[in-house]
A = this chain, B = another copy of it.
Amino acid sequence: MHALEQKILTEGIVLSDQVLKVDAFLNHQIDPVLMQQIGKEFAARFKDAGITKIITIEASGIAPAVMAGLELGVPVIFARKYQSLTLKDDLYRSKVFSFTKQTESTIAISNKHLSASDKALVIDDFLANGQAALGLIDLIHQANAEVVGVGIVIEKSFQSGRDILLEKGYRVESLARVQSLSHGTVEFVRD
């Protein structure tokens, strides 16, 4: 997605070979116009998939997911990280290991809003090792709902997440695919 790649090149900050910081438009400050474009792009790619729910995770997944939900005309559920949880319902829970933080956390969604008849699209801001996406997929499976695919704003293609998801048979649509962050420069995957 050209507008997103341009934004990454002009406002993203390469912190290391592994870490791209996009606090200027996605992870802390949010560019609502870009989020709308992202929502439209996800909707275009998944428009024939019969999606009934979008599942994301707090906090940075919410803006792109809500814009996609607006375009597709479906509700969005954001999984809660357990420490911030005030939900009192019965919950589906899954454990997610963060390689960045070297910590395991629990994510959860209420069983009220997702059922066996749902066709769910997972949306997240980043795809690195795929652990967050797999956690969300696990929650969807606990509801016996169908996983239609995974929509990612920025994929770090040099990490294993995409391959892990593809091997398990999931469709992955990433709007920007970062090939390398070496030498302080962002390089994108070119087909």
Contacts and interface: CB of A to CB of B under 8 A. Distances in A.
B70 A32 contact: yes
Contact of A80 (B28, B32, B69, B78): B28
B59 A78 contact: yes
15 contacts: A15-B88, A23-B112, A28-B80, A28-B87, A28-B109, A30-B62, A30-B66, A32-B70, A32-B74, A32-B76, A33-B70, A58-B58, A59-B62, A59-B80, A86-B101
A30 B78 contact: yes
A77 interface: yes
Contacts of A29: 75-77, 110, 113
Interface in A54-112: 58-59, 62-63, 66-67, 69-70, 73-78, 80-81, 83-84, 86-89, 100-101, 109-110, 112
A24 interface: yes
A185 interface: no
Q: Which of A32, A59, A69, A83: most chain B Cβ within 10 A?
A: A32
